[in-house]
Chain A
Amino acid sequence: MRAALVIAGRDLRALFRSPLAWLLLAGASFVTAWVFLWFVQSFMAAVPHLPPGEHNTGVTDLVVSPTFIWVALVLVVLTPLLAMRLLAEERRSGTLRLLRSAPVSTTAIVLGKYLALMVMLWLTVAIAAAMPLSLELGTTLDLGRLGAGVLALALLAAAFGAICLFISSLTRQPLLAAFASFGAILLLWIINLAASGAAVSGFGWLAFQTHLDALLRGLVDTRDLAYFIILTLLFLGLSIWRLDAERLEG
């Protein structure tokens, strides 16, 4: 797995040399901060109307959870843009041949790429989590619930990352990969809206939102964790399979 680290290191270096990564990180932080401050302000306005003694738990409900939902939406846009070049660009520029003729397994190539992406995404989540955490200076937060929220975002990012990596492995056009990834994530986000009747539970299980909401409410259920982990492993496996299959097709 040393090879995976070498590959991840190169990818991160390349990402941080391009203005794209900095712009995206700055954009994501700006949106999160804006939304966060707006929720804090509305909370301040609501405080006089809250029943006495409820302020401390209320802040998690009224500020932290809504902010985190926005962070999730930021990830929907951010992940496809960060992931689009991962494999598509390697294929387009021919460097995939370099990796393939090196003594490196396909699994190491995919994991290296994924690791680089996750460093970026988890950095975004960490920055976003630091903002509500700063409220701890002036009030008392429900840290368990905050932790569940961070876990939810981290797992969501992991699943988004795996999906986008797989889509990037299908094409040699980074932009195409970005659009397709965005579409795929959006579909999984809204898939439960269209369902009715008996299909509700099935589509509900497939949708991100169902599992994200539970975790953001502070309900850490292994079934929700399993959903994200299964999705992540599935798409990582598909990426490896796809790269291997390419050697056979030519």
Chain B
Amino acid sequence: MSMEHSEPVIHAEQLERRYGRLRAVAGLSLSVNRGEVLALLGPNGAGKTTTLSMLTGNLALHAGRVLIAGHDLAESPRQAKRALGYLPEVPPLYPELTVTEYLRFCARLHGLGRREARAAAATASERCGLEEVAARLTGHLSKGYQQRLGIAQAIVHRPEVIVLDEPTVGLDPVQIRSTLALIRDLADDAAVIVSTHLLNEAAEVANRVAIMAHGRIVRETGGATGAERLRIECTRPPTRERLARIAGVASVKETTPGIFTLELSGDKDPRPELLAAAVGEDWGLGAMAPVHTSLEDTFLDALNARPGEAA
């Protein structure tokens, strides 16, 4: 997963959606670059599905706008949707079609020609591990395969933006593991938004986690893979200034002699240079570990907060 700082391929601004007098989502903004996975983490009823429905054109916006690959979803929906792949909460399968027929149909629906659709369906089913069930009717698949087919459907036309609504619900632990690995792979050439109510899942799969509560993003943090802080322990410690010169380190704190906490700037992974320097200058490096931010605390706060406090 590379961290390219290019233009975001999906950008949402001040989204709002009301159901009667209830504001399901309000003032929600997000953007995701190619190569990134953003997890929308929140308890059930936080507005995750509503948000994803708005991002994919299934629900009209009451305020705000959505840009996908530079196209406004409301003004030029067809161009915008061509760059979009979406897996709803329930995989949208047609039970009468076989896996291959279904994937070809989805590809054709996204404007691919007959021959391209054939190739695209084959690629997507290979990527999602569906070859052995290719000739089965989708209605006869197990829950795990149905979910994988749902993901295959979302990527069959090679979209730049992939939106997955709770893709691991109802899967067993082994299937969850392989699904999360697949989602990380998808981010190689796309921006991925995935919703979940499970903290460990969000931390495992995402570069960034946006915690949602009561229709708002209450906090955005890096996931475990892109830790914001590093802790190192040295028996022959260098100076704080020496550590601060390493690219990717924003600031250095020495908590106890020989133990440092490095705030990372996020533009470069400092670990290779740190290791090289530690060996070359003989710091006696005993430990180096990412410091997990208080994602869990924030999430629990969000769960407990009342609507008024959540802003």
Q: Which residues of A contact B (CB under 8 A)?
A: 2-3, 6-7, 10, 13-14, 17-18, 93-105, 247-248, 250
Contacts and interface: CB of A to CB of B under 8 A. Distances in A.
21 contacts: A6-B109, A13-B96, A17-B96, A93-B90, A94-B88, A94-B90, A94-B92, A95-B92, A96-B92, A97-B86, A97-B88, A98-B86, A98-B92, A100-B56, A101-B86, A103-B80, A104-B78, A104-B81, A247-B59, A247-B60, A250-B50
Contacts of A94: 88-92
A14 B96 contact: yes
Contacts of A10: 94, 97, 105
A93 B93 contact: yes
A22 to B, nearest CB: 13
Interface string B65-89: 0000000000001111110101011
B153 interface: yes
Interface string B22-59: 00000000000000000000000000001001001111
A97 B86 CA distance: 9
B64 interface: no
B102 to A, nearest CB: 9
Majority DSSP secondary structure for residues of A touching B? helix
A60 to B, nearest CB: 42
Given A14-B97, A247-B60, A99 B109 contact: yes
Contacts of B84: 101
A91 to B, nearest CB: 11
B280 to A, nearest CB: 53
B90 A3 contact: no
Contacts, number: 81
Contacts of A3: 109, 111
A2, A14, A93, A98: most-surrounded residue (chain B CB, <10 A): A98
Given A13-B96, A14-B94, A95-B92, A102 B81 contact: yes
A104 B78 CA distance: 7
B11 interface: no
Contacts of A6: 105, 108-109
A250 B96 contact: no
A97 to B, nearest CB: 5
A104 B111 CA distance: 9
Contacts of A18: 96
Contacts of A103: 77-82, 110-111
B154 to A, nearest CB: 9
A102 B57 CA distance: 9
A194 B27 CA distance: 56
B92 A247 contact: no
A10 B108 CA distance: 11
Nearest to B113: A2
Contacts of B110: 102-103
A101 B106 contact: no
A101 B56 contact: yes
Contacts of A104: 78, 81, 109
A2 B111 CA distance: 8
A10 B92 CA distance: 14
Contact of B57 (A17, A95, A101, A248): A101
A247 B58 contact: yes
B3 to A, nearest CB: 28
A86 to B, nearest CB: 13
A105 B94 contact: no
A207 to B, nearest CB: 37
Contacts of B105: 6, 10
B17 interface: yes
Interface string B106-134: 10111100000000000000000000000
Contact of A102 (B94, B96, B109): B109
B60, B79, B97: most-surrounded residue (chain A CB, <10 A): B60
Nearest to B56: A101
A94 B105 CA distance: 16
Given A104-B109, A250-B19, A97 B92 contact: yes
A248 B53 CA distance: 12
A15 to B, nearest CB: 9
A11 to B, nearest CB: 9
Nearest to B82: A103
B199 to A, nearest CB: 27
A109 B111 CA distance: 14
B50, B56, B92, B109: most-surrounded residue (chain A CB, <10 A): B109
Contacts of B88: 94, 97-98
Nearest to A15: B96
